[in-house]
């Protein structure tokens, strides 16, 4: 009965499952779940509680639906992209009815409450969701305007309203040049190939699933490469995705460079084989 549902996106295990899946999957218990908010800059999402298999990450302010807790661990689903896994319960707090108002719009920022000479909290990654309490305040030793948020005082120009969107998602992606390659990573401290695509598209207000196979199935439209490649096209291999920054150059986070780099598509294909498919966003 469970065979048609992807466990990465549908919260079910043999012992517990989401109430909404009752009748679709087999589990000992079905529960409604409870909404929680991520309170740390970055929290790993794991396939198990042992911490040996990071599959993704949750960012500050994102909402995580908890269906089960075991000790210091919580199992559930990140609502931003629907990804299912285990997360440290210490990184969560029960969500209130106050929505986030802004997104972090730079690869990394920091928060303070007194002076820029104080280290402050962070780094807080792009895509983190904060609630602005006071739009413009002054901070000691800086001429920049800061916004007081639920994460602390953050430079105002590092934030955009949630309703606003980045106009050029490829430019956003390229801000991650030389970011370390980290399996399951989703920030400028380290990310993987599909996270690079996801984070950049989300900043542009374009919904994007987490893994490359999901992106190949659900983002944009397939086209024949003989029609010509252009900026913003996505190239897919089994288990990998990259972004064309022009007709010849691929930008991607990869385990060969262990970094996020731009290189000729021909060199990538010589190394790993021809791209399986290409997709173009509906823009």
One-character DSSP codes across 8-25: TTS-B-SSEEEGGGBTTB
Which residue shows structure tokens 């598509």? 265
Other Cβ atoms within 10 Å of 272 Cβ, number: 13
Query: 30 has which bridge partners?
Result: 17
Give residue 101's pLDDT band: very low, low, confident or very high (50, 70, 90). Answer: very high
Among 63, 94, 125, where does a domain finish? 94
**What CATH number does residue 247 fall under?**
3.90.1720.10
Displacement of CA 48 from its chain's centroid (Å): 19
Residue-wise pLDDT for 219-235, tens only, equals 999 999 999 999 999 99
Residues 206 and 241 in one domain: yes
Residues 62 and 135 in one domain: no
Does residue 273 sit within a domain? yes
Within 8 A by CB and 6+ apart from 248, the residues are 229, 264, 265, 266
**What CATH number does residue 31 fall under?**
2.30.30.40
Residues 82 and 110 in one domain: no
- How far apart are alpha carbons 36 and 95 in whole angstroms? 4
Q: Is the pLDDT of residue 52 over 80?
A: no
Q: Is the pLDDT of residue 51 over 70?
A: no
Q: Is the pLDDT of residue 2 over 80?
A: no
Does residue 141 sit within a domain? yes
3-state secondary structure of 185: coil
Residues 193 and 151 in one domain: no
Residues 276 and 178 in one domain: yes
Residues 197 and 225 in one domain: yes
Does residue 6 sit within a domain? no
Among 73, 94, 115, where does a domain finish? 94
3-state secondary structure of 72: coil
Among 161, 181, 203, where does a domain finish? 161
Which pLDDT score is estimated for 166? 84
Are the beta carbons of 218 and 204 closer than 8 angstroms? no
Give the chain's domain count.
3
- How far apart are alpha carbons 279 and 283 in whole angstroms? 12
3-state secondary structure of 180: strand
Q: How crowded is the C-beta side of 64, counted as CA atoms within 13 Å?
A: 35
Residues 125 and 174 in one domain: no
Residue-wise pLDDT for 242-268, tens only, equals 999 999 999 999 999 999 999 999 999
- How far apart are alpha carbons 38 and 15 in whole angstroms? 25
Q: Return the DSSP state at 112.
A: B
- How far apart are alpha carbons 166 and 73 in whole angstroms? 35
Across the range 6-25, mean pLDDT stands at 96
Q: How far is CA 207 from CA 147, 148, 200, 235, in A?
A: 27, 28, 10, 18
Does residue 4 sit within a domain? no
Which pLDDT score is estimated for 15? 96
Does residue 5 sit within a domain? no
Q: Return the DSSP state at 115.
A: B
Mean pLDDT of the chain: 95
Q: Return the DSSP state at 169.
A: H
Does residue 7 sit within a domain? no
Residues 110 and 45 in one domain: no
Across the range 130-138, mean pLDDT stands at 95
Which pLDDT score is estimated for 3? 59
Does residue 1 sit within a domain? no
Supply 183's token pair: 């399996």
Which pLDDT score is estimated for 283? 56
- How far apart are alpha carbons 42 and 177 in whole angstroms? 20
Q: Is the pLDDT of residue 119 over 80?
A: no
Across the range 4-32, mean pLDDT stands at 96
- How far apart are alpha carbons 283 and 280 in whole angstroms? 8
Are the beta carbons of 148 and 134 closer than 8 angstroms? yes
- How far apart are alpha carbons 36 and 238 in whole angstroms? 34
Residues 153 and 228 in one domain: no
The predicted model scores a pTM of: 0.95
Residues 239 and 269 in one domain: yes
Residues 276 and 175 in one domain: yes
Structural domain span for residue 125: 102-161
Residues 53 and 149 in one domain: no
Residue-wise pLDDT for 69-82, tens only, equals 999 999 999 999 99
């Amino acid at each position: 009965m469970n065979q048609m549902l992807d466990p990465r996106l549908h919260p079910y295990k043999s012992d517990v499952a989401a109430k909404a899946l009752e009748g679709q999957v087999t589990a000992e218990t079905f529960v409604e779940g409870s909404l929680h908010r991520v309170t740390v800059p970055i929290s790993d999402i794991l396939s198990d509680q042992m911490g040996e298999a990071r599959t993704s990450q949750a960012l500050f302010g994102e909402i995580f639906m908890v269906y089960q807790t075991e000790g210091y661990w919580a199992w559930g689903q990140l609502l931003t992209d629907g990804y299912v896994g285990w997360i440290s319960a210490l990184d969560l707090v029960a969500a209130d009815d106050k929505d986030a108002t802004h997104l972090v719009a730079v690869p990394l920022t920091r928060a303070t409450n007194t002076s820029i000479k104080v280290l402050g909290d962070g780094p807080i990654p792009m895509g983190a969701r904060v609630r602005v309490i006071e739009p413009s305040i002054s901070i000691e030793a800086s001429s920049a305007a800061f916004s007081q948020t639920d994460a602390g005082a953050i430079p105002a120009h590092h934030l955009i309203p949630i309703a606003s969107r980045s106009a050029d998602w490829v430019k956003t992606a390229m801000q991650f040049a030389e970011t370390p390659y980290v399996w399951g990573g989703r920030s400028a401290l380290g990310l993987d190939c599909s996270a690079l695509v996801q984070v950049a598209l989300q900043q542009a207000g374009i919904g994007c699933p987490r893994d490359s196979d999901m992106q190949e199935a659900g983002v944009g439209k397939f086209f024949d490469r003989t029609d010509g490649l252009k900026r913003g096209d996505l190239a897919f291999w089994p288990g990998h995705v990259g972004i064309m920054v022009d007709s010849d150059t691929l930008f991607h986070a990869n385990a060969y460079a262990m970094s996020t780099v731009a290189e000729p598509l021909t060199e990538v294909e010589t190394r790993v084989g021809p791209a399986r498919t290409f997709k173009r966003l509906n823009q």
